Amino acid sequence: MDLHDSPQEAEFRAEVRSWLDANAPKHLLPALQSASFGKSAFKGDDVLRHSRDWQAKKFDAGWACLHWPKKYGGREASPIQRIIWNQEEGPYRGLSGLFIIGHGMAAPTLMAYASEDHKRKLLPPMARGDQIWCQLFSEPGAGSDLAGIRTRSVRDGDEWVINGQKIWTSGAQHSDYAIIVTRSDFDLPKHKGLTYFWIDMHSPGIEVRPIKQVSGDSQFNEVFFTNLRVPDSQRLGEVGSGWQVSLTTLMNERQAIGTSMAGGFGEILDYAQQAQTADGTPAIKDAAVRHQLADFYVQSSGLKYTAFRSISAISQGRDPGPENSIGKVVTGQMLQEIASLGLELQDQGGLLIGEGEAAYEAKFQFMLLRSLGVRIEGGTDEILKNIIAERVLGLPGDIRVDRDVSFKDIPGAR
């Protein structure tokens, strides 16, 4: 693969640079540059305001959701053009976090399964950031084992009535719409009785309760449904084929999460040049620190080239495949190790977390707290390793004793 721009790509890059130079919110740069993985640039309503303003500006000029069809608000850009855009957008990509679930997971699922009318109604405002989406999959008893969900949907004429509870729903408190998987048949085996919908989060019968996280933020929520009524026209896929529809979402989720994560290498390299070890040696000159930096560099490079390999596959018209799972497995662990080294270099100061007190604007403190979640969200390390073992390496499958049993006969299922 030739990593240099072709003449057409160079021309596209110049066009992107010139638009960004004239339009990017440069006054937000200091805040965006002080953010890091797990540490937001803005607090409270400012996140929503700045993210929405930037998304709308991009959309109005034709620079939002570049690879989408034009009729839904995209630009029909090639995968390579999308990468060029991401490279050039740089720190301003920090304003896209609220839209990842909509753009990266709900949109591909809607494009594959929603009616044309619904696509035209829902996708352009989603692309513009006017409407935010969340993903209602996990439940208290069903995360890795998503097919074990118990939120019940019952058909009532042209509508469905939904009752139950979801948990860990990122961004539900800001969301206008959601994608949801429910159990419509408790008699069938667990993968066969599921039905998938999109829903309006402002409907009666939905209660969102934020969860307080270890970092002090509340980015995810519990969501309760009491007799929520959903028109049948909002069903995605056939009744009972919610598992297949969910796989479309999950495959795109791993791609969206894996490619959106900052690796942390830039921060630790920068900090190692400022910090000193306990005996006063500049950290960057310490052999043990250098050894770890080299290791992080090798892993980051591996991630970069693995991403290029997957981009190259996409540019040849192939789907994001199971081999993408490796990116998140490596990134999650590396972020934790980078944060730990950053804190170790701060010695006892590493215990501080207040932004005014902690060294390096508390970036490694927040990175450590957030990196735990990376190893869980969108598939835990163990689940992703199972996928790699079974679907990439062709090893024998995990033992799944409840696969063909009626869901109602699985202990604790009801």
Ligand X SMILES: Cc1cc2nc3c(=O)[nH]c(=O)nc-3n(C[C@H](O)[C@H](O)[C@H](O)COP(=O)(O)OP(=O)(O)OC[C@H]3O[C@@H](n4cnc5c(N)ncnc54)[C@H](O)[C@@H]3O)c2cc1C
Place of tokens 């953010």: 35
Is 197 a residue that touches ligand X (CB under 6 A)? no
Residues in region 98-137 near ligand X by CB under 6 A: 134-137
Closest residue to ligand X, based on beta-carbon distance: 143
Contacts of 410 (CB under 8 A, 6+ apart): 148, 190, 402
Nearer to ligand X among residue 277 and residue 380 (C-beta): 380
Nearer to ligand X among residue 168 and residue 197 (C-beta): 168
Nearer to ligand X among residue 63 and residue 137 (C-beta): 137
Stretch that binds ligand X, among 18-26, 232-240, 351-359, 379-387 (CB under 6 A): 379-387
Least Å from the CB of residue 319 to ligand X:
21
C-alpha separations of 196 from 159, 169, 235, 305 in Å: 13, 16, 6, 35
**Contact status, residue 31 vs residue 98, Cβ threshold 8 Å:** no
Place of tokens 């208290």: 140
Stretch that binds ligand X, among 49-57, 143-151, 232-240, 342-350 (CB under 6 A): 143-151
Residues in contact with ligand X, shown as a per-residue x/- string from 208 to 227 under the rule CB under 6 A? ------------x-------
Place of tokens 């942390």: 264
Is 380 a residue that touches ligand X (CB under 6 A)? yes
Among the listed residues 398, 404, 405, 408, the single contact to ligand X using CB under 6 A: 398
Nearer to ligand X among residue 66 and residue 383 (C-beta): 383
Find the helix packing angle between 79-89 and 7-23, rounded to 10°.
Answer: 40
Angle at 82 between CA 14 and CA 307, to 5 degrees: 120
Among the listed residues 201, 383, 387, 413, the single contact to ligand X using CB under 6 A: 383
**Helix %, strand %, coil % of the chain (to 5):** 55, 15, 30
Is 59 a residue that touches ligand X (CB under 6 A)? no
Q: How far apart are CA 265 and CA 328, in angstroms?
A: 15
Least Å from the CB of residue 58 to ligand X:
24
Residues in contact with ligand X, shown as a per-residue x/- string from 151 to 170 under the rule CB under 6 A? -----------------xxx
Q: How far apart are CA 183 and CA 197, in angstroms?
A: 11
CA dihedral 295, 300, 306, 311 (to 10 degrees): -170
Least Å from the CB of residue 173 to ligand X:
12
Helical segments of 170-218, H only: none
Is 377 a residue that touches ligand X (CB under 6 A)? yes
Is 373 a residue that touches ligand X (CB under 6 A)? yes
Binding site for ligand X (CB under 6 A): 134-138, 143-145, 168-170, 220, 373, 376-377, 380, 382-383, 386, 398
